[in-house]
Amino acid sequence: MLEIKNLTASIDGKEILKGINLTVNPGEVHAIMGPNGSGKSTLAKVLAGHPSYEVTGGEVIYDGKNLLELSPDERAREGVFMAFQYPVEVPGVSNAQFLRLAYNEKQKHKGEEELDPLEFKDLLKEKAALVEMDASFMSRSVNEGFSGGEKKRNEILQMAVLDPKLAVLDETDSGLDIDALRIVAEGVNKLHDPDKAVIVVTHYQRLLNYIVPDFVHVLSGGRIVKEGGKELALELEEKGYDWLKNGNGKSGSAAAK
């Protein structure tokens, strides 16, 4: 589904990603972990097409297409979704308006039926239940005045409505209390199926107790320095990231310097 080959990217001329290789197949859950500044959020944003980041080399093939050639909105309509670490407030536009517009853009793209406000209301009600969101949030401006946890739940609600093939969760666990974490994680798990893939970007292991990864990749200094199964996350929780800096990472990546 997704193949990242030797991807390099920079922001304001500063190289952040220094050659990422990653393959994600349908049905898989991948965790990208790493210390602050390792480039894990950059990887998420580059996949979504954030305009501040410049891809300087490598390629990303998604569903047989060159993902890097698509604009952010085209990527979204093709089924790529990123849950933001810091969801943006959009004053004056209601959540329901915004979601229906996004939903219909995607339906149009797929040649499927668009929904009028009443029909969409039913769909929204069903999806909102997944993340235990109250109907009152739908008439409020997008993310405006939402608490940190409400914003993250709103991200997962958007994911539920847009039904992406590839979901990238960028530090969705940050700023969540334990109940919100559970709600968000359960929402993600309910949406997951064998045709879809999830990439969970996180600093901590705790989200991975709920969204259990098939693979864990550890990023450091813009490279993947260690890979393993879900047990790697537990090892990191115990030993911290410093342990990897002492030559315990993959030799292949370290040598690429």
Partner 1 sequence: MTTELAQQENKYAAAFDQVLAAQTGEPAWLRSARESAFAEFSASGFPTVDLEEWKYTNVAAIAKTSFEPVLSANGTSLGKQDALAPYSYPETSHSRLVFVNGIFRQDLSDTSDLSAGIVAVDLNEAASDKKYEAVLRRAVEREAQTNGFVSLNTALFSGGLFMQITRDHVVAAPIHLLFVAEAQNGTAPAALPRVVIHAEANSQATIIESYAGSGSGAYLTNAVIDFELADSARISHYRLQREGAKGFHVSTTRAELGAKASYETTSINFGAAISRHNVEVRMDHEGAECAVDGLYMVDESQHTDTHSVIDHRQPHCNSRQLYKGILDGKSRAVFNGKVFVRHGAQQTDAQQTNKNLLLSKEAQVDTKPQLEIYADDVKCTHGAAVGQLEEDELFYLESRGINPTLAKNMLTYGFAGEVIEKIKIESIRRELDEVVLNRLHSEFQLES
Which range of residues in 5-13, 32-40, 99-107, 205-213 is near partner 1 by CB under 8 A? Answer: 99-107
Q: Is 98 in the site for partner 1 (CB under 8 A)?
A: yes
Helix ranges (H only) for 134-248 are: 136-139, 148-162, 178-191, 230-239, 242-243
Which range of residues in 19-27, 76-84, 125-133, 234-242 is near partner 1 by CB under 8 A? Answer: 76-84
Pick the closer one to partner 1 by CB: 35 or 148: 148
When binding is defined by CB under 8 A, the residue of 117, 229, 240, 252 that contacts partner 1 is: 117
**Residue 143 burial (CB count, 10 A):** 21
Q: Is 217 in the site for partner 1 (CB under 8 A)?
A: no
Pick the closer one to partner 1 by CB: 105 or 214: 105
Q: What is the pattern of x (binds partner 1, CB under 8 A) and - over residues 124-143? A: -----------------x--
Q: Judged by CB under 8 A, how many residues of this single chain contact partner 1?
A: 35
> Which tokens sit at 46?
């580059």
56: amino acid identity, one letter: T
Q: Phi and psi for 2 in degrees, rounded to 5? A: -135, 130
When binding is defined by CB under 8 A, the residue of 63, 73, 112, 119 that contacts partner 1 is: 73
Cα separation, 97 vs 109, whole angstroms: 18
Helix pair angle (148-162, 95-110), 10° resolution: 30
When binding is defined by CB under 8 A, the residue of 62, 84, 137, 241 that contacts partner 1 is: 84
Which range of residues in 6-14, 21-29, 58-66, 90-98 is near partner 1 by CB under 8 A? Answer: 90-98
Cα separation, 232 vs 243, whole angstroms: 12
Quick one: which H or E segment has residue 53? strand 53-62
Query: Are the C-beta atoms of 128 and 183 separated by less than 8 Å?
Result: no
> Judging by DSSP bridges, how do beta strands 53-62 and 65-66 pair with one another?
antiparallel
When binding is defined by CB under 8 A, the residue of 29, 31, 32, 96 that contacts partner 1 is: 96
Which range of residues in 3-11, 92-100, 216-224, 227-235 is near partner 1 by CB under 8 A? Answer: 92-100
CA distances from 234 to 157, 213, 218, 238 (A): 29, 12, 12, 6
Q: Phi and psi for 107 in degrees, rounded to 5? A: -60, -45
Query: Are the C-beta atoms of 215 and 227 separated by less than 8 Å?
Result: yes
Q: Is 82 in the site for partner 1 (CB under 8 A)?
A: yes
Q: Is 97 in the site for partner 1 (CB under 8 A)?
A: yes
Binding site for partner 1 (CB under 8 A): 48-52, 71-73, 75-77, 81-82, 84, 87-88, 90-94, 96-98, 100-102, 105-106, 109, 116-117, 141, 158, 162
